[in-house]
Chain A
Amino acid sequence: MLSDKELQEIFEANPEAFKNLATQDEDARLYEILFETLPLLHQEIIVPEIADKVVETLAWQASKSEKRKNILFVLSIGLAVCFGILLVVTFVPQIQLSFKGLSSYLAFIVSALAVFLGVEFLDKKLVWK
């Protein structure tokens, strides 16, 4: 008479020998019934529709994160503008002073800008034609 442990070991090591054993030993027969029935339980599992729900949740999460990013972007631009205004207001005297210092060079800057734009225009019109 084999123990339960021995019977289970035979089943795992040598299924054919176990089948033969099951015709003679009552415990082995019970195990055989068990081992034959267990895989059938797997076929009976009805799996609900998961894929669509998961993909929908992913899409929803992505749009939520996109919205959050957009809000963050707008907020950061707003903050940058506010910071710029604050800087201008704080440094108005210094800014005025530096513009005064530039006034003597203004003619030079404007003519240099005009030459640059002229060359760019010609470049577009003639070279890239």
Chain B
Amino acid sequence: MTDDHSLINRVIAGDRHAFRWLIKQHERLVYSVVWKIVQNQEDAEEVCQDVFLKVYDKLPSFKYESKLSTWIAKIAYNQALSYLRKREGLSETIERGETNFKEKFIDSSATPMEMVENTELKTLLNRAIEQLPVHYRTILTLFHLQEMSYPEIVEITGLPEGTVKNYLFRARNLLKEALQKSQPLESFRG
């Protein structure tokens, strides 16, 4: 059960074991995309289940125009965004999100040592990513954590490539500034 084509055919034919296999193959990708958007474990689990149910329903209409993983990630991205819209209206603009981020991680009056006392680099970065605007953190996750290419991210998010690149640049830049603020560079050196 290696290639997408035979796996999809088996799922469409009603093979539940094949579908379980398909879920296992993609659950990490789906969960990380959904988690980065909804940022709540219970909600993320619920949305992930909805995503795979939708995948099951829509699989017969999959046209093999992209990789199966990209297609599934796109469903996950849209489902999570729609869930977030219902939950909190998704009213925060990119600018407002950036300002919030800067207030918490860059312009804060706390001294670097106060900010990172007993906090490891990964924890700090996780906290910082959670505070990024939703599109920033999703694109960052797809590029750096899922190692997806720009065309794949464009396919998933439906955003123009220029916007994707710009959001990724802004996200990295904000995180770098947060790192710079949080600890003297020397403390990161092994």
Chain A interface (Cβ < 8 Å from any Cβ of B): 4-5, 8, 26-27, 29-31, 33-35, 37-42, 44-45, 47-48, 50-55, 57-59
Contact = CB atoms under 8 A, between A and B. Distances in A.
Contacts of B32: 42, 45
Interface in B101-129: 121-122, 125-126, 129
A41 B16 contact: no
Given A31-B172, A54-B23, A54-B52, A39 B185 contact: no
A38 B45 contact: no
Nearest to B140: A38
B6 interface: no
Given A26-B185, A30-B179, A34-B176, A47 B31 contact: yes
Given A35-B144, A45-B28, A55 B172 contact: no
B45 A4 contact: no
B45 to A, nearest CB: 5
A44 B48 CA distance: 18
A57 B140 CA distance: 32
Contact of B48 (A37, A39, A50, A59): A50
A54 B145 contact: no
A52 B23 CA distance: 9
Interface residues of B, number: 37
Interface string B168-188: 010011011001100001001
24 contacts: A4-B169, A8-B169, A8-B172, A29-B185, A30-B176, A34-B172, A34-B175, A37-B122, A38-B144, A38-B145, A39-B144, A44-B122, A45-B28, A45-B31, A45-B32, A47-B28, A48-B45, A50-B48, A51-B23, A54-B49, A54-B52, A55-B19, A58-B19, A58-B53
A51 B169 contact: no
B20 A55 contact: yes
A54 to B, nearest CB: 4
Contacts of A50: 23, 27, 30-31, 45, 48-49, 52
Interface of B: 16, 19-20, 23-24, 27-28, 30-32, 35, 41, 45, 48-49, 52-53, 56, 121-122, 125-126, 129, 140, 144-147, 169, 172-173, 175-176, 179-180, 185, 188
A57 B31 contact: no
Nearest to B188: A33
Contact of A48 (B19, B31, B140): B31
Given A39-B144, A44-B122, 15 more contacts: A4-B169, A8-B172, A26-B185, A30-B179, A30-B180, A33-B188, A38-B144, A42-B32, A42-B146, A47-B28, A50-B23, A50-B49, A52-B20, A54-B56, A55-B20
A59 B19 CA distance: 12
